Amino acid sequence: MSAIDAPPGLAFAGEAAGEFVAKPRPKRLARRVFWFVVALGAFTIGLAARKIYMPFAEVFLVAPLVCMSIAGVGYAVRRARLRIDQDGIRWGWRIAGFRMGMDRMKSVTAYRDAIAVKPRRGSTWYLSERDWDRFDAVVVALRKAQIPFEVEDRRAPLAARLQSYGMVLDLLLVITAFGAVLALAAVYGG
C-alpha cells in the first residue's frame, strides 16, 4: 500500500471496473465481536471504577480499552473495500484509503488464490481469495480496467498466503472476545 488518496469519485478515481468487499461470514464475526467487546468493556470499566483500590485496578481499566481497540481495528479492516479502476487498485473506505496507482506498479500476477501487485519500490501487495468475496471476478475487473497482468495457474507462493490477514484476523478477534470475558470475570470476582 502506498499513500492515502481521494475518495472514489473525486480527483483521479474513475469509474470502477470492480468493487469487492470482505466475505460475509468474517465480516459478520468482526461486527459481532466488536459490539460484544464494547458492551463487555463498558461494563468492566464501570465495575473497575467502583473497585479502584483493589489490586491491579489499573489493569482492569486499561484491558477493556485494549480489547475494544483491537476489535475496532478488526471491524474496520473487514469493512474496507477493494476497488479496481483504470488508475490502479484501491483498498480502504469511502473517506480514506490506500492506492497502488498504475504508475507505481511494476507487475501484477494472478494466481488461483491470490493477486500479487509488485510496486517499483517497496513490498508486494497480496490480495487473497480468503479475504475477498467474489474473488474470481477480480481477474475480470483487472481486464476491464486494462491493468496488464500475467496468469500463473498455481497457488500463490507461501509468502502470499502468509500475508493473507483473513484467518489471523478472525483468530485475533476471537482471542480478543475471550480476553474481554476474562477481564470482566477478574473484576467481578475481585
Q: Quick check: 183 and 60 in contact, CB under 8 A?
A: yes
- Look at strands 88-92 and 16-21 and give their pairing: unpaired
The reported pLDDT for the residue numbered 162 is: 74
What confidence tens digit (pLDDT) does each residue in 110-166 have?
998 889 999 999 888 888 888 899 988 999 999 999 999 999 989 988 877 777 777
3-class DSSP state of 17: strand
Q: Is the confidence at residue 178, as pLDDT, over 80?
A: yes
What are the extents of the domains in the chain? 3-189
Q: Which sign does the torsion angle of CA 179, 180, 182, 186 carry?
A: positive
The reported pLDDT for the residue numbered 14 is: 63
The reported pLDDT for the residue numbered 190 is: 66
**Phi and psi (nearest 5°) for 189?**
-80, -15
- Look at strands 81-85 and 114-119 and give their pairing: unpaired
Q: Quick check: 114 and 127 in contact, CB under 8 A?
A: yes
Residue 11's pLDDT band (cuts 50, 70, 90): very low
